[in-house]
Structure 1
Amino acid sequence: MTIEATENTFIREWRAWRQAHHDRLADPHGFLAITGLRWLSDEPQRFPDAPGTWSTGPDGVVVVLDDGDELVVDGTTVRGEHRFGVLAERSSVFALWKDAAIEVAKRGGNDIVRPRHPEHPLRLQFRGTPDYEPDPRWVVTGRYVAFDEPVPTTVGASVEGLEHVYDAPGRVEFELDGAALSLTAFPGKDAGDLLILFTDETSGVTTYAANRVLNVGAPDADGTVALDFNRAANLPCAYTDFATCPLPPAGNRLPVAVEAGQEIPYERA
């Protein structure tokens, strides 16, 4: 394959990645559709953007719907009282209500409700995210070094007072501009994949201050991984105050300016 063809493939794949990221955000029930972050307690509460009365306790989340209201949960229509049960940390259940989706979730040990309405102005006005121009120089080969045992790692969150705990399986070592660097990695979405939360010298200047995320494919047998900083992405907290995104672990601030990937969203400019 010629150099020109390789570069064209690189640009085409990057554009497809960027479009997929935008599509997930702008989905009718995506993060840009969230209209509120509701913290549940044992005291029944009503919310302006969700039906019924909500509470939680030792047996999990409960909603009591008014006469005439209904939700669709896992394809089943429910009326009256519905028990979601005890949710696992970082899990979510989506209950459909008219054209909205009511997310019931657990974050940082807290049960929450996050209604998602397609007509929310933040979603309707979304016009994409500014990016650095993709550049192959920001595709770096690294080496994954597994810890003897996964290390429980507590990190802060975009919501003040909230904490997340991840079992870090190892770190990724690499070089940028001749500097030896490393980043603690968390488990990725798929088995074997890695997720890296980081900041760098662009954070708060041209990129979102709190964090960016880099998804890394499963290491090769010898630990080799590919870090494509052109795909350093914003988490939902970069767009909405109703997200509970984790912050990078201590030590994951790079002492270099990573002028690649997504920049500060227009919504935060």
Structure 2
Amino acid sequence: MRTLFPTLTILIILVIIASCGGGESVDVADHATQVQAWQADRLSGLTAERGWLTLIGLYWLEAGENRVGTAEGDMVRFDPKYAPGGLCSLFLEERDGSPAVRLVPLPEAGLMVNGEPATEQILATDADAEPDILSVGELEFFVIRREDRFGVRAKHPQAATALSFTGLEYYPIDPKWRIEGTFVPYDQPKSILIPSVIGTSSESLVPGEVRFEIDGEKCTLLPLSGGLDDPTWFYVFRDGTSGHGTYPSGRFLVSDAAVDGKVILDFNRAYNPPCAFTPYATCPLPPRENWLTPAVEAGEKNYSQH
């Protein structure tokens, strides 16, 4: 006697599948819903009032005085549509044996620092806990530090990149790309140098490596931030789609930290670095250890407007 399976039972079987790397099963519909929610959060963050799309400039400071305003000859020169005129001077100088940036505001400029009227002071940079935010009208700017270089990054909600933004494009969501990897810790975290698009490098402590397979090919990724006790890990990687559908320099990925030696890498959540949208970012580049040979046709595609 033939056994007939109800159509509903067959559908249930079809939508419960194992992830590409083996391990726990995933419900296709639930997984798609979760990735779609992540995509919505990603879009919201990117298009936020002071998000990456609002950058209007990155200006590197020189030793001594750097005038900030809209006049010809100003070291930090804003487009007049963003700033009312001269704003301040920023002095890059030595303080107690270390480089620092001193603000001297122009009294008539109406400049604010963290929402309060500006006074002469040493400015915190993005290398500190929080940078001091200078503002006038809708213009905001602050000091960034990259190794021994100091710069000014500026934002405005009417930035051309924000006004011309056309949205994000993704590969179809596919649970195949939700891969379970095995975390192999090092005896001691290793320090590696992470290059950047501006030619600087930063040090990152790597707790170990995540090993997994893509279509039978063995792969490895190094989490570049987050220690063993941190809840999430961050990766910068490139793959066979880099420059062929995705951003040429690579993409970012975040995962939960390892649990019982296992890590879930969901490449459906791979996303572009800020440099895919603006020339005023200083993005890290993937170390050679994070170059994957297979084409990861998942996650965010290249942004065509930049």
Q: TM-score, normalised by structure 2?
A: 0.79
1:208 partner letter:
Y
**8 Å contact kept, 2:124–2:130:** no
1:173 partner letter:
R
2:161 partner letter:
L
Q: How far has the Cα of 1:71 moved from its partner?
A: 4.1
**8 Å contact kept, 1:90–1:107:** no
1:134 partner letter:
I
1:171 partner letter:
E
Secondary structure of the residue aligned to 2:53 is: helix
Task: Deviation per CA, 1:3-25: give whole Å up to 9, x if none.
Answer: 38932322222122112112222
Moved more, 17-26 or 189-198: 189-198
Q: How far has the Cα of 1:37 moved from its partner?
A: 0.8
Secondary structure of the residue aligned to 2:173 is: coil
Q: Find the counterpart in structure 2 of residue 238 from structure 1.
A: 276
Match of 1:64 among 87, 104, 121: 104
Match of 1:81 among 111, 115, 120: 120
Query: 2: CA distance between counterparts of 1:45 and 1:36?
Result: 15
The alpha-carbon distance between structure 1 residues 185 and 129, as it changes in their structure 2 partners (threshold 3 A), is: same
Task: Deviation per CA, 1:230-253: give whole Å up to 9, x if none.
Answer: 011101011111110010112211
Secondary structure of the residue aligned to 2:268 is: helix
Where does the alignment leave 5 or more consecutive residues of structure 1 unmatched?
A: none
Task: Deviation per CA, 1:188-238: give whole Å up to 9, x if none.
Answer: 499242111110111011000111011011111x21110000011101011
Query: 1: CA distance between counterparts of 2:160 and 2:127?
Result: 31
2:63 partner letter:
D
Q: Find the counterpart in structure 2 of residue 52 from structure 1.
A: 88
**8 Å contact kept, 1:41–1:57:** no
Q: Find the counterpart in structure 1 of residue 242 from structure 2.
A: 203
- Equivalent positions of 1:171-182 (< 5 A) are 171-182=209-220
1:146 and 2:185 matched: yes
Q: Find the counterpart in structure 2 of residue 133 from structure 1.
A: 172
Work out which of the two has the higher radius of gyration on C-alpha atoms and give 1 or 2.
2
Where does the alignment leave 5 or more consecutive residues of structure 2 unmatched?
A: 1-11, 17-25, 68-75
Q: TM-score, normalised by structure 1?
A: 0.89
Task: Deviation per CA, 1:87-111: give whole Å up to 9, x if none.
Answer: 6379644333321221322223322
Q: Find the counterpart in structure 2 of residue 253 from structure 1.
A: 291
Moved more, 226-235 or 184-193: 184-193
Identity among equivalent positions (%) equals 32
The alpha-carbon distance between structure 1 residues 87 and 213, as it changes in their structure 2 partners (threshold 3 A), is: closer
